[in-house]
């Protein structure tokens, strides 16, 4: 049995989906629709850059969705591979919106609208430079929780992404992250400061969560046609009202990606197909379990490989 995975922020590259844009008129239509909804030339930013514009959160989020959705539709429309036979769809952070749209819980226009607001709300929740994120490498989550507990009077940081065995992302205010990193250095733990300007997936996003609650509650969701694995619970969800609540919670809650993958494997998933730019999620899955089969699909040749496997 297989599951489909959709990437989140950080997977974007200038020129992603160009092959699909050039070869399929309906993909170009998707890009044109997105430009109209957003009232900006997002298509130009995706296809030509500059990278600085693509990396702005308010552009990145709809761009990655648009790329993932376009590739999904090409697989669905142009091949004999029944992608909807997946046991589960799952997406990392904003990738959950891609999963929901491809599972027909929300439509294309609604998804672009929601990600437009989500990107702006998350970017503006904390002043630029006021917070950030740090990836900690080779350290178990329990060890990090202990460090934060023992230093709670010095700094307040939060687990934002439990990505894989040995990769945890921590969010916090900039001054607290500096103290946290000093503590990691003292303990010889490896870390990398991420090139983001906001502390995502933690209580510092409360303002964004309030704004998104208003937007999400105005949209009518349907029960998805494929079960979704939630970032918040790491378990399957298939009821529209539950999905809405968890999408709101997701903004302030950590992404439980490692647990999500383990839970899917425990439910007999032995094949993961990553649809969208990059190979980040496949790399994370490989760290969690080297025995599962993996396909990444972000080019036409990748689709041929999927069909030939």
pLDDT tens figures, 206-249: 999 999 999 999 999 999 999 999 999 999 999 999 999 999 99
Q: How many other C-beta atoms can be found within 10 angstroms of the C-beta atom of residue 49?
A: 14
pLDDT at 292: 98
pLDDT, residue 125, reads 94
Among 70, 100, 91, which residue's Cα sits nearest to residue 216? 100
The answer for residues whose C-beta is within 8 angstroms of residue 10's C-beta and 6 or more apart is 194, 278, 280
Residues 6+ apart with CB under 8 A from 95: 5, 6, 7, 8, 64, 65, 68, 276, 281
Q: What is the pLDDT of residues 47-89, one digit of tens each?
A: 999 999 998 889 999 999 999 999 999 999 999 999 999 999 9
pTM of the full structure: 0.96
pLDDT at position 84 is 94
Cα 73 from Cα 158, distance rounded (Å): 37
**Is residue 27's pLDDT more than 90?**
yes
Q: What is the pLDDT of residue 247?
A: 97
State residue 145's pLDDT score.
Answer: 95
To the nearest 10 degrees (0 to 180), the angle between helices 25-38 and 57-78 is: 150
Residue 197 in this model has a pLDDT that exceeds 80:
no
Q: Which residues of 238-267 are buried (b: 16+ CB within 10 A; e: fewer)?
A: eebeebbbbbbebbbbbbbbbbbbebbbee
Helix, strand or coil, per DSSP, at residue 137: strand
Q: What is the CATH number of domain 131-193?
A: 3.30.70.250
Instruction: For residue range 96-130, list pLDDT tens digits in order.
Output: 999 999 999 999 999 999 999 999 999 899 988 89
Residue 13 has a pLDDT of 95
Considering the chain, what percentage of its residues have pLDDT values greater than 70? 100
Residue 309's pLDDT is: 80
Asked if residue 195 has pLDDT above 80, the reply is: no
* Longest CA–CA separation in the chain, Å: 58
Is the pLDDT assigned to residue 298 strictly greater than 90?
A: yes
* Kind of pairing between the strands at 167-173 and 131-137: antiparallel
Known catalytic residues are: 93, 201
Task: Classify domain 2-125+203-308 at the CATH topology level.
Answer: Malonyl-Coenzyme A Acyl Carrier Protein; domain 2 (3.40.366)
Place of tokens 């142009």: 78
**What mean pLDDT, rounded, does the chain reach?**
96
Q: Where in the chain is the domain with CATH 3.40.366.10?
A: 2-125+203-308
Which part of the chain has CATH 3.30.70.250? 131-193
């Amino acid at each position: 049995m297989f599951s489909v995975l959709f990437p989140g922020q950080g997977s974007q590259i200038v020129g992603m989906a160009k092959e699909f844009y050039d070869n399929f008129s309906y993909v170009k239509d998707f890009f044109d629709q997105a430009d109209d909804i957003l009232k900006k030339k997002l298509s130009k930013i995706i296809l030509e850059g500059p990278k600085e514009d693509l990396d702005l959160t308010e552009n990145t989020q709809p761009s990655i969705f648009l790329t993932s959705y376009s590739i999904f539709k090409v697989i669905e429309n142009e091949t004999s591979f029944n992608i909807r036979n997946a046991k589960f769809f799952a997406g990392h952070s904003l990738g959950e919106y891609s999963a929901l749209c491809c599972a027909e819980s929300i439509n294309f226009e609604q998804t672009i609208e929601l990600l437009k607001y989500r990107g702006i709300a998350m970017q503006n929740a904390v002043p630029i430079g006021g917070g950030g994120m740090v990836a900690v490498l080779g350290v178990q989550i329990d060890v990090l929780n202990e460090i934060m507990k023992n230093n709670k009077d010095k700094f307040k940081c939060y687990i934002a992404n439990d990505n894989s065995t040995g990769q945890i992302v921590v969010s916090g205010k900039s001054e607290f992250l500096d103290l946290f990193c000093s503590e990691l250095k003292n303990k010889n733990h490896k870390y990398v400061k991420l090139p983001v300007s906001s502390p995502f997936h933690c209580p510092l996003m409360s303002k964004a969560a309030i704004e998104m609650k208003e937007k999400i509650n105005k949209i009518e969701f349907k029960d998805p046609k494929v079960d979704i694995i939630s970032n918040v619970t790491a378990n399957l969800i298939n009821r529209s009202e539950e999905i809405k609540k968890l999408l709101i919670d997701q903004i302030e809650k950590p992404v439980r990606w490692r647990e999500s993958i383990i839970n899917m494997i425990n439910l007999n998933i032995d094949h993961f197909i990553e649809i969208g730019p990059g190979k980040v999620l496949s790399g994370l899955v490989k760290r969690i379990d080297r025995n599962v089969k993996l396909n990444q699909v972000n080019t036409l040749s990748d689709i041929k490989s999927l069909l030939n496997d």
